[in-house]
Amino acid sequence: MPIRAVDLIRKKRDGHELSRTEIDTFVGDFTSGKIPDYQASAWLMAALIRGLSRAETAALTDAMLHSGEILDLSEFVQCKVDKHSTGGVGDKTSLVLAPLAAAAGLVVPMISGRGLGHTGGTLDKLESIPGFKVNLPLPDFLRILRVCGCCMIGQTAEIAPADRKLYALRDVTGTVESPYLICASIMSKKLAEGIDGLVLDVKTGSGAFMKKEEDAVFLAELMVETGERMGKKVVALITDMDQPLGRYVGNSLEVIETLQILRNEGPADLRELSLELAAWMFVLGDVTSTVDEGKHKAERLIKSGQALEKFRHMVELQGADARVIDDPTLLPRSQHTMEVPASGAGWIASIACESVGTACVILGGGREKKEDSVDPSVGLVLHKKVGDSVKAGESLCTIHYNSESRAARAREMILQSYQLSDQPPLSRRTLVHRIIDHLQKGGS
């Protein structure tokens, strides 16, 4: 008897466990187009509400991984290491890390995603660089890895095609925030890369999919376990997303901030997290034996300009106009800007981070429907972050926009997302909350 999609939906809806064969059928039939979007959406919603067992999560990850090819990178003698974030606002660390790790001698075959919900996507950021190609055929991907050590692309038709389709659907059907679906999505594409090690940046806080730390830890454990089951070295860092990372949110704006970090400038939080994640990539890739050594090495590679030169090389090889590296004014720029003044004086007590991400989506920097294209030029530059003092009328943020009505909506959201207090905050939240390192690789 053929397995029918409606029966898989009902079974999950009623809280029963699907067999490996049933999950294989769902993934295979959806990828080939036999199961339409509306049935897949219904199944995803049932899975989000009911959850998946460990066996179902493993079966889903495997089915998505085997929906395409697994890269054979055995020709590279160097360690192949990647990092992946569960998604945040203003998180451009991937753009810093790929060239930084390649400058340290690692091979970084990075396959990334687009913006999801209120969070930004690495591919959308890269595509804001005029000419940058993220849809490269695999032979080109391999050629660039050989020449440059890093290459950043999207899922090709060959790599985890099931995730590519499911990811786009989840983005617009409210089915992102399931640890099981996130685990299968991230791990299927990362395991397809043929890597030896993976650093996971699992975000927690108001701008993360996992708002509560215990949920982020649960997801991190699930992914570390999945990676280890496949024989990979995996660590997860639980990191803060209670306010945007850095000051720039929006595609071309985030490329500008990436360039600042690679020039040894830019905001302290983005720099600190980039160094920490790079250090873990170095440890997993046997470049350094401790995280502290790794951070020093990362700093040296930035100060010497080697990481920036790697970025330039990768940008050129991926077909883009590398003049943007020295002249970021060549990146897309919005037609207008508008300041958002503070309504009173005090200290910034909190920023509703998801609302900042949503404000960027409203401006056109992300997608509200699957078919939407993103406007690379729009976004936000935050002048005030948690703990900063502010005078009445001082600008909290500059909105970069192309549509007056969208800017008005974004302005309202930004104003509401800033909470002021008449006292300075007692302590600052740390950036790295916890490290899940079963391998005990971190050292001292």
Residue 46 touches ligand URA, criterion: CB under 6 A: no
CB of 190 to ligand URA, least distance (A): 8
Residue 186 touches ligand URA, criterion: CB under 6 A: yes
Indicate the angle between helix axes 20-32 and 161-171, nearest 10 degrees.
Answer: 80
Residue 153 touches ligand URA, criterion: CB under 6 A: no
Per-residue x/- mask for ligand URA, residues 231 to 250, rule CB under 6 A?
--------------------
Q: Is 185 a catalytic residue?
A: yes
Nearer to ligand URA, 73 or 168 (CB): 168
Residue 122 touches ligand URA, criterion: CB under 6 A: no
Per-residue x/- mask for ligand URA, residues 155 to 174, rule CB under 6 A?
------------x-------
CA Rg value for the chain: 21
Residue 185 touches ligand URA, criterion: CB under 6 A: yes
**Measured distance CA(378)–CA(46) in Å, rounded:** 35
Nearest to 372 by CA among 159, 115, 112: 115
- CA atoms 192, 185, 236, 94: torsion sign: positive
Q: Is 170 a catalytic residue?
A: yes
Q: Is 84 a catalytic residue?
A: yes
Residues 62-101 that bind ligand URA (CB under 6 A): 86-87
Q: Is 233 helix (H, G, I), strand (E, B) or coil?
A: strand
Q: Is 229 a catalytic residue?
A: no
* Triad 268, 274, 277: Cα angle to 5°: 140
* Triad 253, 255, 260: Cα angle to 5°: 100
Q: Is 206 a catalytic residue?
A: no
Backbone conformation region of residue 131, classed left if phi is above 0, alpha if psi is from -120 to 50, else beta: left
- From 2-10, 176-184, 193-201, 285-293, give the range in contact with ligand URA by CB under 6 A: 176-184
CB 204 within 8 A of CB 210: yes
- Bridge partners (DSSP) of residue 239 are 203, 432
- Considering only residues 81, 116, 195, 217, which one is a binding residue for ligand URA as defined by CB under 6 A? 116
Nearer to ligand URA, 86 or 318 (CB): 86
- CA atoms 414, 415, 417, 419: torsion sign: positive
**Measured distance CA(161)–CA(167) in Å, rounded:** 10
Structure tokens at 296: 């020093």
The residue annotated as part of the active site, out of 11, 50, 84, 165, is 84
Nearer to ligand URA, 180 or 280 (CB): 180
- Considering only residues 182, 191, 202, 353, which one is a binding residue for ligand URA as defined by CB under 6 A? 182
Residues found near ligand URA in the complex (CB under 6 A)? 86-87, 113, 116, 167, 176, 181-182, 185-186
Which residues participate in catalysis according to the annotation?
84, 163, 170, 185, 189
